[in-house]
Amino acid sequence: MATFISKQHLSRRTALKGLGATVALPLLDAMLPASTAWAKADDRKLRLIALEMVHGAAGSTTYGAKMNMWAPAATGRAFDLAPTAMASLEPYREYLTIVSNTDCRNAEAFSAPEIGADHFRSAAVFLTQAKPKQTQGSDVFAGTSFDQIVARQHGQSTPIPSMQLCIENVDQAGGCSYNYSCVYTDTISWADPETPLPMIRDPRSVFDQLFGVGTTPEARKARRRDDKSILDFVAESVSDLKGRLGKADQQRLSDYLEDVREIERRIQKVETQNTSGEARELPGAPIGVPDSWEEHVKLMFDLQVVAFASDITRNFAFKLSRDVSNRVFGPNSSPNAFHTASHHQEREDRIRDFQRINVYHVSLVPYLLDKLKKTPDGEGSLLDNSLVVYGSAMGNSNMHNHKRCPLFFAGHAGGRLKGNLHLRAADGTPMANAMLAALQTMGVDLTTFGDSTGAMDLNRAPEATVAL
């Protein structure tokens, strides 16, 4: 049964419980005491989703920059997204802050043995902005990542302080190429410089962590074996709770539970398909992992949104690919393999082909932003109270360089980020300057991060300029 506290409102930690299932609730009006207003901007619960996409961008090449394949030509607020890989974000430009022309110097080679190893250290740099130690042993060293710094600030009052997700396999052990440990390509999340965090690839595992809190693995397996929905086990609690709620809260609860059920149905469908005996495109992947990259990403996005809605966690790091992946993304992208396409030999036709992959990758972000925007959170939406980070620590992947790296932020971060802004940094500006500013936007009291030289102003609209 749902648990209530003795006051006139529900506890934010009210949950629906059953055998092998614990379903946290979305924020309801009944969770606010009488005469209590929604939280002021300074008190809002902030959420983070940090997305890393490997291999840089076509727009980081000389030709791509000239054609505005990543960054718009104009700075300020009157920029045109149409030529860029971010064109699909146009409906969300009021939430969009683009920071172009920043570098990730700590992903570069500092000595001769590091030359050529850019793919094997870049992922470790994106959210840490730190220089990874070249080693194949257990003495790995990078930096504390952006998401974990935020988790210390905002994650300690939730059941799960943070979660780390990925799309590609992360089961390599020991050393990879150029004397770098595989852990540097396996994760983007570091609890501290010596502690890389594992990432979850299987949507079923994510679902069970979100909705199986306090239950045993055996109970969860029994529920799946009986082919029952998690909601079947909490039906009595749902009925009891709805009888105590007003109409608006009843509808909000129904919509939320239907979202949970729809995600569960999709996971079950994937598992049924993958155990049918038919040949798989990803034969080594867990049975809960869709063969379709797009379907997989959308499932993970949906899981993140329901986790935010129920306040199970406020913090996600999400690795969308793996360096040197040669995945072919399907009919909406290029027919060429990812890593191969990224080595375009500076040919304009091949750079344009690589741009198709960049466009496709970014085109899935509006799916996430739409879900966040449609999910109420206080007087606004989850998107109003979230920060989404998207970028790469690589620039021109053909040259293995780390200049003009792609980066944008989405969301208003509880009103602290205005959006509808393109900032073009001066040549040689560290990406860490933008990351430091974003950390401060999330309420973190830091004055340095990685190789930062100072925090950027992510709300100042510069005098409009047009790239030549």
Query: Quick check: 405 and 60 in contact, CB under 8 A?
Result: yes
Q: Are 266 and 273 in contact (CB under 8 A)?
A: no
Q: Would you state the pLDDT for residue 20? A: 67
Q: Greatest CA separation found in the chain? A: 69
Q: How many angstroms separate the CA atoms of 373 and 362, rounded? A: 17
Cα gap 181→184, rounded to integer Å:
6
426 secondary structure, DSSP code: P
CA distance 365 to 362: 5
Least Cα distance to 386 among 394, 395, 377 occurs for: 377
DSSP labels for 383-399? Answer: TTTEEEEEE-S-SBTTT
Tell me how far CA of residue 454 lies from CA of 89, 335, 343, in angstroms: 28, 42, 33
* Structure token pair of residue 2: 């749902």
The 3-state DSSP class for residue 56 equals strand
Cα–Cα dist 387/366, whole Å: 14
Per-residue pLDDT, 233: 83
* pLDDT tens sequence across 232-241: 888 888 888 8
What is d(CA 297, CA 389) in angstroms, rounded to the nearest whole number?
Answer: 16
Rounded CA-CA distance 364/317 in Å is 16
CA-closest candidate to residue 150, choices 457, 413, 466: 413
In the chain, where the domains are located:
1-37+216-288, 46-201+296-468
pLDDT at 154: 86
Alpha-carbon distance of 316 to 177, in angstroms, equals: 28
Collect the ranges in the chain with pLDDT lower than 70: 1-9, 19-20, 33-43, 171-174, 213-227, 464-468
Among 210, 162, 389, 201, residue whose Cα is nearest residue 297: 201
Candidates 296, 288, 366, 372; CA nearest to 329 is 296
Kindly give, in sequence order, each residue whose CB lies less than 8 Å from that of residue 58, ignoring residues fewer than 6 positions away: 64, 69, 70, 85, 344, 351, 352, 354, 355, 358
- Per-residue pLDDT, 277: 92
Q: Are 194 and 183 in contact (CB under 8 A)?
A: no
The whole-angstrom separation of Cα 311 and Cα 137 is: 38
Record: fold of 46-201+296-468: Alkaline Phosphatase, subunit A (3.40.720)
Within 10 A of 374 (CB to CB), how many other CB atoms are there? 12
Give pTM, 2 decimals.
0.93
Count Cβ atoms within 10 A of the Cβ of residue 63 and give its class: 0-12 exposed, 13-18 middle, 19 or more buried.
middle
Strand-pair partners of 192: 195
The per-residue pLDDT for 206 is: 96
The pLDDT, as a whole number, for residue 219 is 65
